[in-house]
Structure 1
Amino acid sequence: MKAAPDPRAVRDASLDELERLALPLPPPSFPLVWEPGDEVELRPTGELEARAAVLHVVVARCFGMPTEAAMSWLLNSKLVDFVTPPEWQFVAGAKGDHRSFVLHHDAVFALSWLLGLSGHLDATAPPEERMMSQMPDLPAGELFNAWRSRALVAPRDATDAVVLLDLYYCLDWAFQEAEKLGVELPGEVDSNAIGQRRWALEWAVTFTGPYHEDPPEWEEVDLSV
């Protein structure tokens, strides 16, 4: 746990980036993500790895990974406890919104950045092509622990993560507003991808302070604000 940076200075930098991208700016009342004096840290590395791996399997199911293979991989990797109920219903019975699960590819991208497996999290660019080769090799049957040994992750500093969280918090609003107004977006990424990346950052970065409750579970992350 370490002191979070000055939230207003970080917000000013986020707004500067929105201006550089020619995106709409949120109103002055747009809330800060944290308060002066709060402390910040990333969730334990094992939790970040488990969440990335589970989402990787969910996305693989969207692209044809058989039900039995997916369930077997999760069981043999001892990751069933890390699968949320909606994810399990989709993996086991293809229940739920297929399109929304496909979008988790960008959440995996954000988690891979947090784990040091991706070199950037550029809001104008799609996930790196090499990202898939850095996740568990599901067709080859590479289980979770074998992947962890191969990946040798190097998690980002919590300060870098929280700065990017604030930027994506602002980008989420700006992209949705731009699409609503018909403003041209700055790259190859839309608001759905931005929202997924924000989801992963919101879940992964945890705060301690007088205005923060316990960190939310994956399905409890509030993206409505």
Structure 2
Amino acid sequence: MRRLRLPLPPAEFPLVWEPGDEVELRPTGELEARTAILHLLLARCFGMPPQAAMSWLLSSHLVDQVTPPESQFVMGGRGDHRSFVLHHDAVYALAWVLGLTKHLDPATPTDDRLMDLLPNIAAGETFARWRSRTLAAPRPAGDAAAMLDFHYCLDWGYLEAERTGAPLPGLIDANAIGQRRWALEWAVVFHGPYHDPPPGWEEVDLST
């Protein structure tokens, strides 16, 4: 945070986890499915017809993992179009967790090669074919937890910098950092006496 010249969270800023907690990642298949679904939502944002999107979900056997708001957007275009476009950075964070991208730099936009690493929906590449092509190698849970902790602090720092008019360290804004944090909050699972069961995608709490 100091290297990026961002405001530091206050001393009473709550911790992401407590001493003694255990950490793991969600199952690889679940991480891949969420990545593919968000990628499909982006395709819908940029003109993919609803019938084609639904056909891809059916052929990929992912319909049951689409949330109700996502389903409404896929089929009827209902919802906040801008919020779905912002998911591009959530996809980037999930790709990092899956080991598909080398870095998750808070000062730079997404990797230019990201689209090549995702399902080629326009060409009809199904979820199963994509999985066999990419051969994901998820990062160690501790590394992902450390990245979550970093983005937890970054989220506060970016919002504070934008509130006070301080310069940001790179080319992305608080929205992008928030999306990356959302993906990391969902992907990393903590177990301990102070943790509830892992939340669904729509239930991730970014209010702190």
Q: What range describes the TM-score normalised by the shorter chain of this pair?
A: over 0.9
The aligned counterpart of 1:81 is 64
* Residue 92 of structure 1: how far off its partner (Å): 0.5
* Residue 156 of structure 1: how far off its partner (Å): 0.4
Deviations 1:190-214 (A, max 9, x none): 0000000000000000011110010
The aligned counterpart of 2:171 is 188
| 2:124 paired with 1:141 | yes
- Among residues 78, 82, 90, which one is paired with 1:99 in the alignment? 82
The aligned counterpart of 1:28 is 11
CA distance in 1, matches of 2:87, 2:65: 15
* Residue 66 of structure 1: how far off its partner (Å): 1.0
Q: Quick one: which amino acid aligns to residue 32 of structure 1?
A: L
CA distance in 2, matches of 1:138, 1:212: 37
- TM-score scaled by length of structure 2: 0.99
Q: Quick one: which amino acid aligns to residue 44 of structure 2?
A: R
The aligned counterpart of 1:9 is none
For structure 2, the 5+ residue unaligned runs are none
Q: Percent identity?
A: 69
For structure 1, the 5+ residue unaligned runs are 1-17
The aligned counterpart of 2:101 is 118
Q: Quick one: which amino acid aligns to residue 195 of structure 2?
A: H
Q: Quick one: which amino acid aligns to residue 41 of structure 1?
A: E
- Among residues 150, 161, 167, which one is paired with 2:133 in the alignment? 150
CA distance in 1, matches of 2:186, 2:110: 19
Deviations 1:141-192 (A, max 9, x none): 0000000000110000001000000000000010001000000100011000
- Among residues 21, 32, 44, which one is paired with 1:38 in the alignment? 21
* Residue 220 of structure 1: how far off its partner (Å): 0.3
- State the SS of the aligned residue for 1:41: strand
CA distance in 2, matches of 1:103, 1:27: 28
- Among residues 180, 199, 202, which one is paired with 1:219 in the alignment? 202
CA distance in 2, matches of 1:194, 1:22: 15
- State the SS of the aligned residue for 1:20: coil
Deviations 1:62-87 (A, max 9, x none): 11111111110001100001100000
| 2:175 paired with 1:197 | no
- State the SS of the aligned residue for 2:121: coil
The aligned counterpart of 2:41 is 58
CA distance in 1, matches of 2:96, 2:48: 24
Deviation beyond 4 Å, 4+ runs, structure 1 = none
Q: Quick one: which amino acid aligns to residue 47 of structure 1?
A: E
- State the SS of the aligned residue for 2:161: helix
| 2:186 paired with 1:174 | no
The aligned counterpart of 2:32 is 49
CA distance in 1, matches of 2:43, 2:167: 31
Task: Provide the aligned C-alpha RMSD in A.
Answer: 0.5
* Residue 24 of structure 1: how far off its partner (Å): 0.7
* Residue 46 of structure 1: how far off its partner (Å): 0.3
Q: Quick one: which amino acid aligns to residue 189 of structure 2?
A: T
The aligned counterpart of 1:68 is 51
